[in-house]
Amino acid sequence: MAERILIIDDDVDTLRLVGLMLQRQGYQIVAASNGTQGLAKALEERPDLILLDVMMPDMDGYEVTRRLRKNPATEAIPILMFTAKTQLDDKVTGFEVGADDYLTKPTHPTELQAHVRALLARTTQRKTDEIVPASPHEQKGCVIGVLSARGGLGVSTLAANLAAGLFTRTQTDVILAELTPGQGTLGMELGSPNQKGLTEILQGSVVEITREKVQSSLVPHNSGLKLFLASENPRDVNLASNVQNFEALVPRLSSLARFTVMDLGSGLPTYVQRLLSMCTERIVVLEGNPSTIQHTKILVDEIAALGINRKDIVAILNNRQRSEAQIPWAQVQDKLGHSILTAITPAPELFLQASRLQTPAVMAQPTNMTSQQFLKIADAIIEREKAR
């Protein structure tokens, strides 16, 4: 995936020329025309590098840098300052407030490109050094990521029942991991509310994410599953920016079970983009209505744009309500332009019973037709795992 560079400069010509030049080098460019906008873009986009002008009317580059360095979400982003100022004191001030490099205007394109490459290379190496590698004895299990184009399509339900199906079929360790900070629902549904396992992992440093710490965060469930849960506190949604922690977490989870089923929620935030490349299986959930099919088609295209083979993206049609408005399976598949593994039949009574028992539907009524459909998905994953 191309590195993302944020350019903050009030000079429109500079934004256009520098942005175009770096785009031609293969970088993704985000632009901001003042300091306030730049701070907002930095938080929203989480760029790999910031090119920052010093002389701006609303907030100069020094103040922007100070604020970036004070915010835990942006403190590690490398900053390359560039300005018309040539005095030594100006450069010293830039380094003192937290800039990583400094260039004076006008600068030759080749020189700018060289500084950009060097900064990005150093950052990549630092990230590699910070992420604790898995120990040689840690065996990597099968990692399944489940997501949808938007919320409310049954991602958590599918993830929970797929995990239960895998456990039912194999009787081996299966982890159900809810990787949606601040949006936890599985804890309440499965009788283990107010869990902070994910929150604590994301709040700590990368080097603290050990196999032992992750193991101690797992919550045993009477179904036989091991749960790794997100909190219900909406403030924790900000922890989604801690991408390196997610990247360090997944190998630890996969070393603790034969199967790890990850609830990745909806959309493609940066951390989900990174985690999809770490998955063995990727499951996209959709419903049979026109708008959802169109949104899902875009999602599949964007996942493929990350370099993931379309054949490695599994689509599941989850019809949660009995409705004439639902489009038949074959038509959904045709409109989606992507094969669908199976369709889940609406079963409100089954899910109501499962909710009362605080267990996945597969465990509540294993012989139910809808439970059998979940088991069919589990069987397909087990077969592919054996073939690898």
Q: Give me the phi and psi of 31, to 5 degrees please.
A: -120, 145
Digit-coded pLDDT (tens) for 138-169: 558 999 999 999 999 999 999 999 999 999 99
pLDDT band per the 50, 70, 90 thresholds, residue 223: very high
Q: Find, among 93, 13, 86, 31, the residue nearest to 60 by Cα.
A: 93
Domain count, the chain: 2
Residues 313 and 174 in one domain: yes
Q: What is the model's pTM?
A: 0.67
**Same domain as 163, residue 72:** no
Do 78 and 187 lie in one domain? The reply is no
Structure tokens at 194: 């107010």
Select from 130, 157, 174 the last residue of a domain.
130
91 and 166 in a single domain? The answer is no
What is the CA angle 266-70-271, rounded to 5?
A: 20
Domain boundary residue among 76, 103, 130?
130
Residue 220 has pLDDT above 60, yes or no: yes
Residue 328: pLDDT band with limits 50, 70, 90: confident
Tokens 């903050």 sit on residue? 8
Give the residue from 76, 108, 130 where a domain finishes: 130
Same domain, 62 and 152: no
Shared domain for 52 and 154, answered yes or no, is: no
The domain of 116 spans 4-130
Q: Is position 135 within any domain?
A: no
d(CA 335, CA 328): 11
Shared domain for 200 and 112, answered yes or no, is: no
Work out the pLDDT band at 85, boundaries 50, 70, 90. Answer: low
Distance CA 367, CA 35 (A): 60
Spacing of C-alpha 21 from chain mean position: 29
Distance (Å, rounded) from C-alpha 156 to C-alpha 147?
9
Is residue 120 located within the same domain as residue 200?
A: no
8 Å CB contact between 202 and 284: no
Same domain, 267 and 345: yes
| pLDDT at site 323 | 62
- Give the span between the Cα atoms of 301 and 149, in whole angstroms: 11
Are 341 and 380 within 8 A, CB to CB? Answer: yes
Quote the pLDDT of residue 108: 82
pLDDT at 132 over 60: no
**In CATH, what number is assigned to the domain containing residue 10?**
3.40.50.2300
In a domain, 136, yes or no: no
Question: Which residue did the predictor score with more confidence, 21 or 178?
Answer: 178
| 172 and 41 inside one domain | no
Q: How far apart are CA 149 and CA 147, in angstroms?
A: 7
At residue 124, the pLDDT reads 63
> Beta partners for 76?
none
Q: Which residues of 153-187 are buried (b: 16+ CB within 10 A; e: fewer)?
A: bbbbbbbbbbbbbbbbbeeebbbbbbbbbbbbbbb
pLDDT reported for residue 351? 93
Write the pLDDT tens digit of every residue in 193-217.
888 899 999 998 888 899 999 999 9
